[in-house]
């Protein structure tokens, strides 16, 4: 899954693809580099990010989505808002990627009606405050239980199990130690019997481990991608598609 953030303030590519033309060009480049799925987002969810008005989010996302209708690859939309989910589905989105796991009022219903696949992500707290001393007794157990409940809620709302992907939400209300614990025990999520998506690309935990700024975290991101593959992730949400493809090629050859 190649990431295109149509925002001024995303932590790693904020401002680079804010106009539709550059976002489209970047999405096409990622597809050419081997992304099977493009994830576009119009609102940053980085720690401390300010919420974006709904109208603004729609104005950022919809032109890019429509512009990708001929891409020949599925496009997911990273949003928490039911109105954006609905409009995105009408504009050709294949997946709704929600960092709130369809927790907003009306989100489950909007996703169910859309016919799209859904990615349910775990997050503890709101972006504004989630990194202020998050606490878990058992981070893996808590994440797993939460995802299991959200899968059940989705199924009860009519979203078929084979349309659901789960994500432990690296960096969302988690310290570096929590993220490492989740990565080390990622395979425990396989008991949910739902595909696992992992998003570690360029994240601040990698900065903490290496001492490197966001633009110098490619090697750390690739190491994390390999660890996520080893932990059973089958979708990697990444900014650097070409390089991650090489990691996957080595991983696949090794396994076969």
Rounded to whole angstroms, the Cα distance separating 115 from 185 reads 32
Phi, psi of 34 (to 5 degrees): 120, 10
Minimal distance in Å, beta carbon 208 to ligand HH2?
16
- Nearer to ligand HH2 by Cβ, of 48 and 254: the residue is 48
Minimal distance in Å, beta carbon 99 to ligand HH2?
5
Rounded to whole angstroms, the Cα distance separating 240 from 92 reads 24
- Interaction site with ligand HH2 (CB under 6 A): 3, 5, 7, 10-12, 41, 44-46, 78, 97, 99, 119, 121, 167, 169-170, 197, 199, 237
| Cβ atoms of residues 120 and 172 within 8 Å | no
At 244, is the secondary structure helix, strand, or coil? helix
Q: Which residue is nearest to ligand HH2 (CB)?
A: 199
* Measured torsion, CA atoms of residues 133, 15, 209, 100, in degrees rounded to the nearest 10: 40
- Nearer to ligand HH2 by Cβ, of 24 and 198: the residue is 198
Q: Is 237 a catalytic residue?
A: yes
Residues 68-99, buried b or exposed e (16+ Cβ, 10 A)?
A: beebeebbbbbbbbbebbbbbbebbbbbbbbb
- Nearer to ligand HH2 by Cβ, of 44 and 114: the residue is 44
Given 46, 203, 208, 245, the catalytic residue: 203
Minimal distance in Å, beta carbon 253 to ligand HH2?
26
Minimal distance in Å, beta carbon 256 to ligand HH2?
28
Given 237, 242, 245, 255, the catalytic residue: 237
- Nearer to ligand HH2 by Cβ, of 95 and 255: the residue is 95
Q: Residues for the chain: how many in total? A: 256
Q: Which residues are known catalytic residues?
A: 203, 237
């Amino acid at each position: 899954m190649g990431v295109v953030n149509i925002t001024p303030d995303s932590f790693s590519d904020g401002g680079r693809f804010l106009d539709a033309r550059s976002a489209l060009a970047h999405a096409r480049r990622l597809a050419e580099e081997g992304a099977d799925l493009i994830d576009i987002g119009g609102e940053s969810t980085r720690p401390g990010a300010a919420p974006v008005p709904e109208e603004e989010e729609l104005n950022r996302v919809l032109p890019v989505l429509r512009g990708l209708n001929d891409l020949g690859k599925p496009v997911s939309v990273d949003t928490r808002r039911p109105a954006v989910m609905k409009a995105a589905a009408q504009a050709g989105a294949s997946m709704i990627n929600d960092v709130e796991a369809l927790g907003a009022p009306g989100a489950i219903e909007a996703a169910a009606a859309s016919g799209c696949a859904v990615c349910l992500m775990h997050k503890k707290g709101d972006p504004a405050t989630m990194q202020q001393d998050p606490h878990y007794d058992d981070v893996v157990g808590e994440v797993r239980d939460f995802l299991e409940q959200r899968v059940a809620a989705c199924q009860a709302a009519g979203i078929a199990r084979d349309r659901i992907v789960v994500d432990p939400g690296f960096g969302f209300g988690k310290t570096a130690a929590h993220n490492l614990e989740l990565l080390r025990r990622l395979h425990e999520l396989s008991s949910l019997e739902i595909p696992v998506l992992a998003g570690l690309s360029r994240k601040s935990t990698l900065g903490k481990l290496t001492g490197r700024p966001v633009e110098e975290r490619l090697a750390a991101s690739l190491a994390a991608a390999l660890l996520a593959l080893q932990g059973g992730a089958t979708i990697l949400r990444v900014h650097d598609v070409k390089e991650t493809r090489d990691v996957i090629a080595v991983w696949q050859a090794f396994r076969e």
